[in-house]
Structure 1
Amino acid sequence: MPFTLAAQFEYEEDIKKSRFQAIAVPVENEQTVKDFLEAHKDISTTHQCWAWKIGDTVRFNDDGEPSGTAGRPILATIEGNDLTNVLVLVNRWYGGIKLGTGGLVRAYGGCAGQCLLQAEKIELIEKKKVQFSCQFSEWAIFQYELNQQQIEFQEDYTAQGVNVLASLQIHQIQPLQLKIQDVTRGREQLHIVEVAEDE
């Protein structure tokens, strides 16, 4: 079962006079990654190296450090902790002593690893977007049901009735499907919405 982070977490250490700061944060999609990196641009740093993983998609960046010495070790710590939907940014302020490639790998990987070790992790629950329609007279029943199960939803009122878009955990889909068939006497169906990856 994959995990993600409960919240943003930071960790700092000094290695041979260079200061390393790791910031680990949960991310939903590539846009949240871009926004976070943009917001954390720091011109006082010597290097800002990062790696992220969302589902099966991974990216990493050495930001001028020798190839394979920063981004890849950071990514290895994300994967080693069984995490997904996570971005780790490691800032380095150079202190005048060269670390060599092995030293850099240990510094970036180690700093990211310590940060993730101490961060609070939560189980990532897969959700699917679903859509269904109902008549105005039926909406109160569904609204009660959705609220009872703490399901996020948006309703859209039309001349014919109510269109509902909801985000369900996998185990909630079938019971709601049966409820819809029951309340609407088989007139309406629950549809799973295929969401494009880059939304």
Structure 2
Amino acid sequence: MPFTIAESVQFEEDIKKSRFQVIAVPVENEQAVKDFLEANKDHTTTHQCWAWKIGHDVRFNDDGEPSGTAGRPILATIEGNELTNVLVLVNRWYGGVKLGTGGLVRAYGGCAGQCLLLAEKIELIKKQKIYFECLFNEWSILQYELKQNEIEYKESYTVEGVHVNALVQVHQIEPLANKIQDLTRGREQLKIIEEPNND
């Protein structure tokens, strides 16, 4: 059962005069990772090291620390907590005392671990891409339904009506499919967009 964290959490610790600040956030995709790292660029830091895991994809960055002493230990704590869809950023302000490679591994991994202990773990709900079409006069009803259920969607208009792509939680598929069928009197069906399987 995959888990992620419910919301952003922070943790700070001073280790041998260096200040470590950890921010852990839930992320849905690589764009969310890029946006977060861009928004949290801090030029006062000595190093900004990070790691993330989304599904089977992982990345980490030592940002100038000796190879393997920062990003990898951060990633190890994410995986050790059996989390996915999580990004952990560790900011370090160097205080003049060298920690050595073992000390760095312990500091980065330890601070990341302390931060993740503060996070509320929640079950990651599988989402599915779907699409459907409807007439203009039906769209307002279906749009209301999507908004009520906090479903992400993008619509595009054609001469005949509206094309809608959406990202729904698996348990929302059947009620939405029934609603579309009822509203269009069986004319339209909800279609599931199959993802290529990377397993």
TM-score (norm 1): 0.83
State the SS of the aligned residue for 2:106.
helix
CA distance in 2, matches of 1:55, 1:27: 11
Distance 1:27 1:147, change over 3 A: closer
Q: Which residue of 2 aligns with 1:41?
A: 41
CA distance in 2, matches of 1:137, 1:86: 41
State the SS of the aligned residue for 2:82.
coil
Distance 1:186 1:12, change over 3 A: same
Alignment of 1:1-199 (within 5 A): 1-136=1-136, 138-139=138-139, 142-143=142-143, 145-146=145-146, 149-194=149-194
State the SS of the aligned residue for 1:101.
helix
Percent of aligned positions with the same letter in both sequences? 76
Distance 1:170 1:114, change over 3 A: same
CA distance in 1, matches of 2:108, 2:60: 12
Deviation at 1:111, TM superposition (A): 0.3
CA distance in 2, matches of 1:76, 1:45: 23
Deviation at 1:70, TM superposition (A): 0.9
Where in structure 1 are there 5+ consecutive unaligned residues?
A: none
CA distance in 2, matches of 1:144, 1:10: 36
Distance 1:172 1:6, change over 3 A: same
RMSD: 2.6
CA distance in 1, matches of 2:40, 2:150: 34
Where in structure 2 are there 5+ consecutive unaligned residues?
A: none
CA distance in 2, matches of 1:101, 1:123: 35
TM-score (norm 2): 0.83
